[in-house]
Amino acid sequence: MFLAPVHVPFRMLVSAPAFRWLLAARTTTTKGSVDADILQQVEQKLTDLVRAVKAAVPVATKAKDDEAAVVETVRTKLETVLALSVVLKKLTPAADGAGKVFTTQEAAAYRAAVDYVLRDWKAAAPFTWGVLFGWLFTHALGKIVDEDAASTGAADEISRNWIDEWLLGKLIAVALEEWGLEVDAARRAVALIKLLIGYQRWFADTDDPHDVLYAMLREREVQAYLGVNRYEDVLWFNQEAFEQWARWIMVLSTVDLATDAPDDFAEIFVARYTLVRQWLKAEAASAYQVARLLEGLKTPR
């Protein structure tokens, strides 16, 4: 089968044993760091996967340097994920540090954001870590096709399509089932991974809580994940799914931001957390009705 050359290296990264191996490499100690040998092994496995993908796609014309860049992107994000608590502690703004000095209130917001992001990270839940690892090892694959695709966002769409077309979603689901998830939960995890690939598109033109959420809700796949349904001429959504969605947007935003670690990381991090908190505040007053949720996020123009 023509997919076998892609599936073999993919399963070296996406399987229950691989997920357990990576989770065991997580570090929480302040002076700790992710095992360099493990990162080197992952880098080699990623290289094998990227080369297999390029061989399977005739239009993949990226040079070796670009191939290495994709591998490095995923490897560095994996390192961030495995040491997230340590990374966020190191990025905590110091009261006497360079740049903007945080007020007491802003410092409290930073700590609250860290607690929010790390709540599920600290547990070894297969669903949480399966989504993290599944997203990590699929989200950048489309970028190896061509540079224009990567710059326009088409690469994200390619990555999402390959999850179905190349049956990568099936492999992820099998890995999660072997890790202990029920079949429905594994399928839900795959659906979430697909939605989260390219999540930055919703923040490309605005960071307004209403506008971002409205853009998300215009996508049928997001509606399906959030359980949006019409009953007696009212659109409803699922509370648990919405709260899980908000947390994942925050978690992946944090991974990307912390990997890049810009000078204004703390400000951007707190701003994204503030946006998520506004979503959750509007949700609490919405009676789980979509219209009331969006109405609660509107600000005077």
Give the residue extent of every domain in the chain.
Answer: 4-295
Neighbouring C-beta atoms of residue 98, cutoff 10 Å: 8
Q: What's residue 63's pLDDT? A: 44
Asked if 159 contacts 198 with a C-beta cutoff of 8 angstroms, the reply is: yes
Ranges of H-type helices in 83-197: 84-90, 104-121, 126-136, 147-152, 154-165, 168-178, 183-196
- The per-residue pLDDT for range 159-196, each reduced to its tens digit, is 999 999 999 999 999 999 999 999 999 999 999 999 99
Question: Residue type at 6?
Answer: V
State the Cα torsion 84-88-89-92 to the nearest 10°: 180
Ranges of H-type helices in 122-153: 126-136, 147-152
Token readout for 66 is 């670009």
- The per-residue pLDDT for range 225-274, each reduced to its tens digit, is 999 999 989 999 999 999 999 999 999 999 999 999 888 899 999 999 99
* Cα–Cα separations (whole angstroms), residue 60 to 51, 54, 168, 173: 10, 5, 19, 27
Nearest-angstrom CA–CA distance, 116 and 228: 25
Which has the higher per-residue pLDDT, 153 or 27? 27
